[in-house]
Amino acid sequence: MFNINRLGDALGAEITGITLGDLDDTGIETLKAALFEHNVVCIRNQHDFTPDQHIALTKRLGEIHEYVLNNYCLPNHPEILVLSNEIDEQGRAIGVKDGAQYWHTDTSYEKRPLWFSILRAIKLPEKDGTTLGDTLFASTAAAYDALSDDMKNKLEGLKNVHSYNTYTKVRQGREKVRGKLTQEQIDKTPDRIQPVIRTHPANGRKCLFVNEGYSIKICDLPEGESEDLLEELFKHIKNPKFTYRHHWQPGDVLIWDNPQTQHCAIGDYDVPLTRTMYRTATRGPVPI
């Protein structure tokens, strides 16, 4: 029996009464409906949720995505990306260390950006009895709805360039953390022109589709005007009235709907405190 409790005003809900590894087809459809309505859902106490079950659930939600940083995938489970600041016995990072500590929508630079992301807490950093490493989410649909009519009209039809290979202001220095991309990885992630406003593929809501992690310019605008408009939109999306802050607990699985959200990891911890998460995702349609 699904019980859904709202966590934030604009987005976020906790689902109780389910075990993710045991969902039937009706359960999957109910889960999708909750995601379309609440954008981000948390299912707690999934301590026995195995990597194989994680992958199986992802495939039931859609076409599974293979991330470009395939050197950080879970051994024997290439579908699972590891996000971690842990170091192995050879001194190598076992996962993506920084956990994207800037506002972004997952793989917004791809032709078919992600639809659902599924993130499972494996190890959480704790200091003085407090769990660190929260994740912030923003509703890009609520942010669009709150725009003035004049701004909506101004943005209608505009496009922006999303780039994985060009480092925006908030991503400066990330190359040192993640390592340089190979030429093959660069070739797989060319710059992509995306609409500034996208329509959600399931519920038809309009959503802002710019983010400070990957949007580098608005097409057909002078450089200064493009930069000013992007900064205005970035600030607007991060307004607290559109956001939800998730405080992780052991056993949490968090699933979110990328077309309607952005997120940002909080980097308030460092070694010897460790944070390790497993992430899978499904590919979405071409944004329109």
Which positions are catalytic? 104, 106, 263, 279
Q: Is the bond preceding 272 in cis, omega lying within 30 degrees of 0? A: yes
| Residues whose CB is less than 8 angstroms from the CB of residue 193 and which lie 6 or more positions away in sequence, other chains included | 159, 160, 161, 162, 219
Quick count: other Cβ atoms within 10 Å of Cβ 203?
A: 13
Pairing of strands 192-195, 13-16: unpaired
* 53 in Cβ contact with 18 (< 8 Å): no
100 sits in the region (left: phi over 0; alpha: psi -120 to 50; else beta) called left
**DSSP-derived 3-state class of residue 113:** coil
Record the tokens describing residue 213, joined without a space: 């992690």
